[in-house]
Amino acid sequence: MKITLHKTLALAVSMTLAVAPVAAQQGAPSKSATASTKAANEAVLKALPFNDKEDFANAARGFIGKPDTLTIKNAKGDVVWDLEAYKKYISADKPAPDSVNPSLWRNAQLNMQYGLFKVSEKIYQVRGYDITNITFIQGKTGWIVFDPLLSAETSKAAFDLVTQHLGKKPIVAVVYSHSHVDHYGGVRGIIDERDVRAKKVKIIAPEHFSEHAISENVIAGNVMSRRAIYMYGAMLPRNAQGGVNGGLGQTTSTGTATLILPTDIIKKTGQAMTVDGVKMVFQMTPGTEAPAEMNTWFPELKALWTAENATNTMHNILTLRGAQVRDALKWAGYLNETIALYGNKVEVKFQSHHWPMWENTKIVEYIKKQRDLYKYIHDQSVNLMNKGYTGPEIAEMIKLPPELDQQWYNRGYYGTLRHNSRAVYQRYMGWYDANPSSLDNLPPEMAAKKYVEYMGGEAEVMKKSRADFDKGEYRWVAEAMKHVVFANPGNTDAKNLLADTYEQLGYQAESGPWRSVYLQGAFELRNGVPKAGGINAASPDTIKAMPPEMLFDYLAVRLNGPKAAGKKIGINIDFTDLKKQYGLAVENAVLNHGKPLAKPDVKLTMTKATLDAIQLKETTLEAAITKGDLKIDGKREAFTEFMGLMDSFPFWFNIVTP
């Protein structure tokens, strides 16, 4: 039998938040900032309170030590984190280049403050070793660690820095604040699972953490991962015309993402736990920044950990890589609860990104204005929606009041007011804007050809677009030239003009992800779609933690419906180690799974460990059969036919061209 199940299963669980290590893409040179872009960025300098330096003082407060250089490699010698690439052109004493929005540049300058810091008594953070902070709480005998970064390599390096300056102590507990991989992926860099099994180390997480940590990107993992290339700017060169900042931090590390499942689950607000003499009280915040998330209060330290619910930026209501829309109203509600619970007591606030804040009055004001940021976005988007305006119209109309807009921690470095307001519309109303022409409108490539025809042909559109480009009307030029490119993707001049346009929009963007999206789009228009690098399959720990049901759901998505029409295939799978049996049935061009079938066409018998080994390419289907780890009974040709109905998704699909 020639079907290679290991390839199918390996692709089936491709999922990631981060992107794999790749060299900066090489191609046509970037252009300089135009006069219009320079003017736009100069206007930002006048609009915002750049003379306010408190964030810089907070980012430096409590500094203990750092290495002179920070380049972290994996066991093979591959670089997985390189702050040096940014240090070549970003420093606190350099003004923003013409090609970078000054507000985004300021955020990058702050995120470049790296090393070990004392937050308050018993609380320490290592910042700048990944997109996330790793926090160490000192207990009687050892450390309680909050959010051990994305990669094992960066987490280990951060722990080594702590040990160097504060002495060698064991880790007695790890707390995962929420279910995004940059908050748990480095766990094996600092603890051994044998110590967890021996109950020497607790792993504490909010309810439903494991379900969401494993499942978040499975079903739509391929398209999310491709879009993440745009969002995180992973392949952009590190210079003033390329990647500058990711909003939450400089970028994501690209090391080994790991997972050790929790031993202790937090289920309700007010639930308390004392670990190694440190009392923690938890506030559950599900459905905010993550589907499973929690804040933590340290009553004896008067310290509040806000996870990723309150960071020093406007966050995403809908992430640009794609996900389910978050609930801005619920998010604001939980921040309001935070104030009610701890507002009269808190003296220090710290979180999983950016730098801390001190003093009760300032902290309460900060949380109130973060709360009101999300509440305003929600309420005013719904207000305008109820007046009949659509998502794009709302995005153009909505403006923050000065008391929210002028706060640095409310600026759109990660989320933006424009796309968050559209997300609120999407949450309530979906894709349809109620205009009948939107019900059955033409797809982009077909519509583009008609647009160009109606506009007088490619040459006329380009002539007018060049004139508007010279006037700095980049948003409209992008809209017009998109149609020319989709009508005729072979028109190199059109692609180059659109690339120039995206580039200037990127240079003006305050949001790190928006900048990355525009500049990656410009690169692909000039140089074509990359062919290698950029995706990081699910880690071995994630694959091993996946229940069979999750894999079967993904196989159902991969089933080619038209090819499966008219076919009936029944498969039973017996996992001997789990003592569980499943039935898979292809009928009516869909794949369902459930209890074993009474009369299957074929039966597979194996352990879940064998399935994991096949997925991880540690063995092949043929080798497992030969070794006796996989037994097939019945019609092998039925299983071969079943596998032949599975689509393999191309990662490097086109985005800015048809």
CA–CA distance, 313 with 411 (Å, rounded to integer): 5
**Would you identify the CATH topology of the domain 35-424?**
Metallo-beta-lactamase; Chain A (3.60.15)
pLDDT of the residue at 544:
84
Give 5's pLDDT tier (boundaries 50, 70, 90): very low
pLDDT score of 634 more than 60:
yes
Query: Hunting for tokens 């997985």 — which residue is that?
Result: 80
Pick the CATH number of 442-527 from 3.30.70.380, 1.10.1370.30, 1.25.40.880, 3.40.50.11900: 1.25.40.880
Per residue in 448-497, pLDDT (tens digit) is 999 999 999 999 999 999 999 999 999 999 999 999 999 999 999 999 99
pLDDT score of 9 more than 90:
no
Whose CA is closest to 126, among 179, 186, 180, 75? 186
pLDDT of the residue at 302:
98
pLDDT score of 64 more than 60:
yes
Q: Average pLDDT for residues 154-180, to the nearest whole number?
A: 98
Give 594's pLDDT tier (boundaries 50, 70, 90): very high
CA–CA distance, 149 with 189 (Å, rounded to integer): 10
CA distances for 236 relative to 14, 115, 151, 233, 650, angstroms: 23, 25, 21, 5, 21
Per residue in 244-264, pLDDT (tens digit) is 999 999 999 999 999 999 999
pLDDT score of 218 more than 80:
no
Query: Hunting for tokens 């109309």 — which residue is that?
Result: 397
**Residue partners of 293: CB distance under 8 A and separation at least 6:** 177, 178, 179, 206, 285, 286, 307, 308, 309
Structure token pair of residue 14: 């491709």
Ranges in the chain annotated CATH 1.25.40.880: 442-527
pLDDT of the residue at 545:
85
Q: Vertex 133, ends 138 and 411: CA angle to 5°?
A: 130
pLDDT score of 331 more than 70:
yes
pLDDT of the residue at 214:
85
Give 8's pLDDT tier (boundaries 50, 70, 90): very low
CB 202 within 8 A of CB 263: yes
Give 221's pLDDT tier (boundaries 50, 70, 90): confident
Q: How do strand 602-606 and strand 278-284 relate by DSSP bridges?
A: unpaired
Give 220's pLDDT tier (boundaries 50, 70, 90): confident
Give 646's pLDDT tier (boundaries 50, 70, 90): very high
Give 542's pLDDT tier (boundaries 50, 70, 90): confident
CB 542 within 8 A of CB 612: no
pLDDT score of 6 more than 80:
no
CA–CA distance, 19 with 9 (Å, rounded to integer): 20
- Choose the weakest-confidence range: 189-203, 465-479, 523-537, 574-588: 523-537
pLDDT of the residue at 235:
87
pLDDT of the residue at 537:
47
pLDDT score of 270 more than 70:
yes
CA distances for 97 relative to 105, 247, 471, angstroms: 8, 18, 21
Q: Average pLDDT for residues 294-316, to the nearest whole number?
A: 98
Total Cβ atoms within 10 A of residue 53? 9
- Angle, helices 417-429/328-342, rounded to nearest 10 degrees: 110
pLDDT of the residue at 543:
79
Secondary structure percentages of the chain, helix, strand, coil, to 5: 40, 15, 45
| Element holding 350 (H helix, E strand) | strand 348-350
pLDDT score of 202 more than 70:
yes
Whose CA is closest to 166, among 150, 192, 148, 145? 145
| Element holding 539 (H helix, E strand) | none
pLDDT of the residue at 19:
43
Handedness of CA 180, 185, 190, 194 (dihedral sign): positive
Per residue in 497-506, pLDDT (tens digit) is 999 999 999 9
Identity of residue 482 = K
Torsion of CA 371, 377, 381, 382, to 10 degrees: -10
Query: Hunting for tokens 């066409």 — which residue is that?
Result: 601
pLDDT score of 88 more than 90:
yes
Identity of residue 617 = K
pLDDT score of 375 more than 60:
yes
Q: For the sheet with 123-127, list strands across it.
A: 63-65, 115-120, 123-127, 134-138, 143-146, 171-175, 202-206, 264-266
CATH superfamily membership of 5-12+537-644: SCP2 sterol-binding domain (3.30.1050.10)
Tell which wins on pLDDT, 29 or 560: 560
CB 616 within 8 A of CB 14: no
Give 534's pLDDT tier (boundaries 50, 70, 90): low
Give 7's pLDDT tier (boundaries 50, 70, 90): very low
Q: Average pLDDT for residues 625-640, to the nearest whole number?
A: 93
pLDDT score of 541 more than 90:
no
pLDDT of the residue at 533:
62
pLDDT score of 20 more than 50:
no
Identity of residue 543 = I
Q: Average pLDDT for residues 548-574, to the nearest whole number?
A: 95
CA–CA distance, 178 with 206 (Å, rounded to integer): 7
pLDDT of the residue at 535:
52
DSSP H helices in 387-441: 391-397, 402-405, 417-429
Give 3's pLDDT tier (boundaries 50, 70, 90): very low
pLDDT of the residue at 304:
98
Ranges in the chain annotated CATH 3.30.1050.10: 5-12+537-644
Tell which wins on pLDDT, 274 or 25: 274
Give 216's pLDDT tier (boundaries 50, 70, 90): confident
pLDDT score of 12 more than 60:
no
